[in-house]
Structure 1
Amino acid sequence: MIVKMLHDAGLRSEHAYLGAAASIGLSLASWLASNRQENLERADRWGIFVGEWAPTFFGLGLALANYERTDGEQLIDSQ
């Protein structure tokens, strides 16, 4: 399971949520930078491309939070 592998590697739900928030800011920054150097259509594509990372990170954060909650419950049940 990918979520278990990521959790075992040290990735926590808070990290994924921070990545989502950062990608929203990065989306705005990339749009502004691209808008100054290129045309509006190209700037919009860059902003949307980077902005689509946020839902992925939020989903990953939810999956990790769910795994962390159920993993903690299993530890309590086994004691």
Structure 2
Amino acid sequence: MAGSSHGHTPAAWTGVTITFIGFCISGAFTVMAEPIGFVAGLVVAALGGVVGLAMRAAGLGRQPKSGSRSQAEPQTQG
């Protein structure tokens, strides 16, 4: 996995960071037994996915390779 560019984009990092913060918010409000804060954290987590997709659509994600091979074909390293 380290040899691929999976997730190494500004869109991926931003989306994951926002989602992580949302889950941290939800976790904190779970411990405090505050349902409104818990739901607000889940909204922030969902917003992270939306932001990541929007950034990918804006060109900040991984660009698809033209004429790429299918996943089933073995890839050789050179």
What TM-score, normalized to structure 2? 0.51
2:46 corresponding residue in structure 1: 51
2:36 corresponding residue in structure 1: 41
**Percent of aligned pairs sharing the same letter:** 5
Q: By how many angstroms is 1:37 displaced?
A: 2.4
1:22 corresponding residue in structure 2: 17
Unmatched 5+ stretches in structure 2: 1-7, 64-78
What TM-score, normalized to structure 1? 0.51
**Contact persistence 1:19–1:54 (CA under 8 A):** no
Residue type at the aligned position of 1:19? T
Q: In 2 relative to 1, CA 65–16 (structure 1 residues): closer, same or farther, beyond 3 Å?
A: closer
Deviations 1:9-42 (A, max 9, x none): xxxx811211112222222111001222251232
Aligned length: 56
2:72 corresponding residue in structure 1: none
Runs of 4+ in structure 1 displaced over 3 angstroms?
A: none
Q: Once superposed, what is the RMSD of the aligned Cα atoms?
A: 2.7
**Contact persistence 2:24–2:41 (CA under 8 A):** no
Unmatched 5+ stretches in structure 1: 1-12, 70-79
